[in-house]
Amino acid sequence: MPLTDPPPLATAPADPVEAVVVLSRRLPPTPDLAGLSWIAVDRETLAGAARTDDALTATPGVSLFRRTSSQGANPTTQGVSVRAIAGSGAGRALVTLDGTPQNDPFGGWVIWSAIPSAGLASADIVRGAGSVREGPVALTGLIALARSDSPVLAVDAAGQGERQVFAQTSQAVAGGRVSADVAHDSSDGWVPVLQGRGAADRPLTLDASSAALRYETDLGGAYVGVRLSGYSERRGSGLAGALSRSTGAQLGLTAGSAPQTAGFGWRAQGWLTGSNLYNTSVATAAGRAATTPANRQYDTPALGFGASLEADEVQGSLTLRGGMDVRGASGESREQFRYLGGAFTRNRVAGGDADTVGAFAEATAQTPDWTLGGGLRADYWRDSHAHRVETNAATGVTTLNRSAPDQDGVAPTARLAGTHSLYGGLTLRAAAYVGFRPPTLNELHRPFRVGNDVTEANPQLKPERLSGAELGLGGAQGPLSWTAGLFVNRLADAVANVTVANGPITDSVAGLIPAGGVLRQRRNVDAVNAAGAELSAVAKLTPRLSLTLSGAFTRARVEGGSGAAQLTGLRPAGTPDMAVDARLDWRVSDTVRLSGGVSREGKRFDDDQNLRPLRADTVGSARGEWTFQPGRQVYVALDNVGQRIQTARDANGLLSWGPPTTLRVGLTLRR
């Protein structure tokens, strides 16, 4: 993945490796953020990937909770984290599109099919909890996506009956510009179970569509933009009777002055997001010969909203910025469960509200050799109106009625960071930070089932708190650009799915857990302690041939405390210890480009007790492109070459696998 040079930032010391990119339609980042680890993903890399999450997770350390990409993963497992500290279905990183949050208001996960990679201009990945401006969701980092305005038509076909199309157009109108895009992505999928497959196994299918309409104008030197978007996707979950449907829409309004390097700038933003999830789960019979309905989550209405106002002042070597924001979410899960005698016998409604109000201030000072600054933020958070009501489906009699007291508090986010230019073009960077993440409505209120494993919710979860520091060095000598860094993080009160009992048992709340099944509950463990190293380098071997190497190595261990002492010393579920990536890019001519890569991820565990290992995997890819006219391109690509990836393991040792080697062909037309 190519590294890009940062734009000039008012006497900032040159840093050719840790790129600080001015994000479209946003105030420029404060210069001290160069003290954090940044990776810039360009449009070519994004457009060359089948999906946006595939392009992002090619960066070592960036991962979804499961190894399966959004082509085959259930929406509830598509939360993204930027460092391999601890896996989470909700994710621990904030994803924005032109500054507007894209994380689901109920679960925190991201519907990646609603953000087609063909419509993006860039992505900036910021590692660490130092994004004071973005607030509590950006616990392990920030992924800032910027959309492209270029008219484009992209068509892609691949194995497993996969078909993708994306079209975007833009038209000048009186007073501004109107842009629109539409996308469709469908796949016949693959059956994830190979050994031990039974009659109940089905493919992981996908049928997803999205659309967006935007209006932008310039009013007296101030940018004003309105964006309305929506998505719908349907997925087969790999077993007969198991499927999911998710829908959502977002309205965003942004106004502000154009980014500038001196003087006063401001930005105001508001957004409203609605989402819904339909999800069914099943229990499997012996030999996987059949399935029995276990749960039908027929409605999960959720509403998220937010508004922010920020301003900055740049005077010579001093940058000052401040702002405030409010964010909220409200939602509930409506389900049928306890399937007996050919029908569901229980109904459940569970949910609540979650809100934060925050304010921040940042300051940075610069000299020709030094950049030093920091930020401080305080958020008031509140979880309220928690409820869980279960009734008998036949009689309507209440069988369980639980509420939880409201919780609230004030939590800080802070950063101190800087860079120093050394002799020989080297740049030293350092940062220390603290941050927090309130649990999502999904973690607080929604139980779920995967096969015969049941995970209970916990409305008394406390916010996670992360503290950390990092130190890095980078430089550019001739054809070589490189950066390397070390970090240490402590994630206190980490939310984890903790094993409570093994089946067969009958729990007073969760019900029957069959033999081979496991009962878990979301709980705060004392901490996850993680230390690691990150490195990347780009070598221009010739004017047309370049090699990119990157890697992330992390040692993460659970400190269970009295509530989960059995987990102390174990690795968090879904957390690999290493990830490396090598990419070779050869521009054979002005019209022909060949590229390929190899990625390896270390062993990870599919459970909290480290009893379900998933082996290390190595996969390759290759791509050939021919630009037959300016802006006109055809390509052929091979994905998932070599070792097939293990994606899940159940209590009986049955493995699920990722997609086979896949051939893709496509056409892209840009103007």
How far apart are the C-alpha atoms of 98 and 457, rounded to whole Å? 33
How far apart are the C-alpha atoms of 59 and 19, rounded to whole Å? 15
Beta-bridge partners for 57: none
Tally the C-alpha atoms within 13 A of residue 33's C-alpha that lie toward its C-beta.
29
Dihedral sign, Cα of residue 571, residue 575, residue 576, residue 580 = negative
Residues 6+ apart with CB under 8 A from 564: 496, 498, 523, 525, 526, 558, 608
pLDDT of residue 469: 96
How far apart are the C-alpha atoms of 398 and 400, rounded to whole Å? 6
For 381-394, what is the HEC assignment? EEEEEEEEEEEECC
- For residue 361, the tally of other CB atoms under 10 A from its CB is 15
pLDDT of residue 79: 86
For residue range 628-652, list pLDDT tens digits in order: 999 899 999 999 998 899 999 987 8
pLDDT of residue 3: 38
The DSSP output letter for 201 is B
Low-confidence ranges of the chain (pLDDT < 50): 1-24
The DSSP output letter for 241 is T
How far apart are the C-alpha atoms of 257 and 149, rounded to whole Å? 19
How far apart are the C-alpha atoms of 606 and 572, rounded to whole Å? 9
Q: Which helix (H) or strand (E) holds 661?
A: none
Phi, psi at 632, each rounded to 5°: -115, 125
pLDDT of residue 107: 92
Model pTM score: 0.91
Please name which of 311, 430, 313 lies closest in space to residue 372, comparing C-alpha atoms: 430
Q: How far is CA 137 from CA 90, 129, 131, 414, 552, in A?
A: 10, 9, 10, 14, 22
Does the domain formed by 31-670 have CATH 3.30.2350.10? no
Q: Is 30 helix (H, G, I), strand (E, B) or coil?
A: coil
User: What value does the CA radius of gyration of the chain take, rounded to a whole number of Å?
Assistant: 24
Residues 6+ apart with CB under 8 A from 377: 132, 133, 135, 358, 359, 360, 361, 412, 413, 414
How far apart are the C-alpha atoms of 50 and 65, rounded to whole Å? 19
pLDDT of residue 4: 37
Residues 6+ apart with CB under 8 A from 410: 378, 379, 380, 381
Q: How far is CA 342 from CA 334, 337, 510, 584, in A?
A: 20, 12, 19, 57
DSSP string, 209-225: EEEEEEEEEEETTEEEE
pLDDT of residue 102: 95
pLDDT of residue 532: 94
Domain ranges of the chain: 31-670
pLDDT of residue 221: 79
DSSP string, 472-494: EEEEEETTEEEEEEEEEEEEEEE
Please name which of 287, 193, 237 lies closest in space to residue 646, comparing C-alpha atoms: 193
E strand map for 441-574: 448-450, 453-456, 464-477, 480-502, 505-507, 511-513, 518-542, 545-559
Q: How far is CA 159 from CA 169, 194, 640, in A?
A: 28, 18, 11
Q: Is 288 helix (H, G, I), strand (E, B) or coil?
A: helix
pLDDT of residue 11: 30
User: Contact at 8 Å (CB) between 140 and 93?
Assistant: yes
How far apart are the C-alpha atoms of 41 and 18, rounded to whole Å? 12
How far apart are the C-alpha atoms of 614 and 601, rounded to whole Å? 10
pLDDT of residue 465: 95
pLDDT of residue 413: 94
> Which amino acid does the sequence have at 654?
L
Dihedral sign, Cα of residue 297, residue 298, residue 303, residue 304 = positive
Please name which of 666, 668, 670, 669 lies closest in space to residue 163, comparing C-alpha atoms: 666
Tokens read off for 154? 């992209």
Please name which of 553, 415, 541, 320 lies closest in space to residue 34, comparing C-alpha atoms: 415
pLDDT of residue 610: 94
CB-count exposure of residue 506 (10 Å: 0-12, 13-18, 19+): exposed
Residues 6+ apart with CB under 8 A from 281: 237, 242, 294, 295, 448, 449, 450, 451
How far apart are the C-alpha atoms of 515 and 532, rounded to whole Å? 39
